[in-house]
Amino acid sequence: MTVIDFEALKQPDYDIQALRAEFPILQRRVNGQPLVYLDNAATSQKPLAVIQAMDDYYRNTNANIHRGLHTLSQEATDAHEEARGKLQKFINAASHKEIIFTRGATEAINLVAQSWGRANLKAGDQVLVSMMEHHANIVPWQQLREQLGIEIKVIPILEDGSLDMAVYQQLLTEKVKLVAITQVSNALGSVNPITQIIKEAHDLGALVLVDGAQAVPHQTVDVQALDADFYVFSGHKMYGPTGIGVLYGKEALLEAMPPWQGGGDMIDIVTFEQTTYAGLPHKFEAGTPAIAEAIGLGVAADWLLDLGLGKLAAWEHSLLHYATEQMQAELPGLRILGEAPGKAAVISFVLEGAHAQDLGLLTDQLGVAIRTGHHCAMPVLHHLGVDATARASFAAYNTLEEVDIFVAALKRVREMLL
């Protein structure tokens, strides 16, 4: 392989082998080979701290919350609400009331669409989304279009995968009531200028919902500094459990929004004639919540803060730089989709003569886990002229040696297919 000066690469400012030891799954073998896990944009692996916190809850505390006077219920309630406080700290929300637990970023976006959207939008109002959105930030607005007659306008991208800000500014008129946009593209790795996007939207009276699912595992997020109106993310992409996520909303907005789902825990008083609702945040948390998952997510947030998101981001960018150079040097016919300056540690690519699905299946036989397909981002891939790509995405526990194994696996697969 091409010789690269390892000393010129920024090494992680933490003990990466000690960190890898915190992840039990990284010790296993797949198809007889040591696991090289490069599918972190889909879901990240979980450290022992998260696994043990959830196990401890089920072993020692398991009970429903907010509804019981007995000891276990009180302990479970305390642990659940402590987790809410950890997530408040993690994104610097002004109040714990602004942290709504959901099943993930998808449910959080749907909540905003069906609560805020149905209460505040009308026929002819516009919602702006970008070309690079995940389906979860497209389909809810299309459903609202069918229900209310709103219009959806799409911000295009430039050739390198970055957002076309000039067109954004042209589209941003007084008809726009909401800009719903990703902070980091899961398919391309492009990082959008969210602060500028929010300011320009606010200048014309529009609100902004930010999909931060691909941002929070890799960079510090301060929702107050951003001035985001809504901010959503999922636990499983930030070293936390599946089935749990967060909707952040400014307290005044959440207070004015009607409940989305009805049931237990979101009520104050229920009669057959009338129901009154609980205050924030419980108004939007109907039914028994994912208690263990919330606790695990709180631990994951602490784990990330303790590690230092700046350290993590610096190492991931070194991995991205090294992998990009090695792939370009060693793989004729390679095309990387998304080469925006400052992109996140995601490489979405096609290889001439090899279908993405074949790349995924065959690299798996060599112990390398990558993602293939449309990445729930069909519009942007079709815009770039492909139906599917292979995607490698990096996390804090990945190493330069794993990049070498990955590139060698791709070379071997390419030789098999050609």
Of 63, 171, 369, 376, the catalytic one is 376
376 catalytic? Reply is yes
Phi, psi of 182 (to 5 degrees): -80, 145
Q: Whole-angstrom distance between the N-terminal and C-terminal Cα of the chain?
A: 20
Give buried/exposed letters for 162-201 (b at 16+ CB in 10 A, else e): bbbeebbeebbeeebbbbbbbbbbbbbbbbbebeebbebb
Give the separation between CA 163 and CA 385, rounded to whole angstroms: 17
Q: Where are the alpha helices (DSSP H) in 205-336?
A: 223-226, 251-256, 291-307, 309-330
Task: Give CA separation, 262 vs 117, 143, 277, in Å.
Answer: 18, 20, 9
Give the separation between CA 69 and CA 19, rounded to whole angstroms: 40
Amino acid letter, 390: A
User: Which token pair is 182?
Assistant: 């990703």
CB 66 within 8 A of CB 196: no
Give the separation between CA 3 and CA 23, rounded to whole angstroms: 30
* Cβ neighbour number for residue 334 with a 10 Å cutoff: 17
Phi, psi of 247 (to 5 degrees): -105, 120
**Cα torsion through 131, 135, 137, 139, rounded to 10:** 110
Catalytic residues: 376
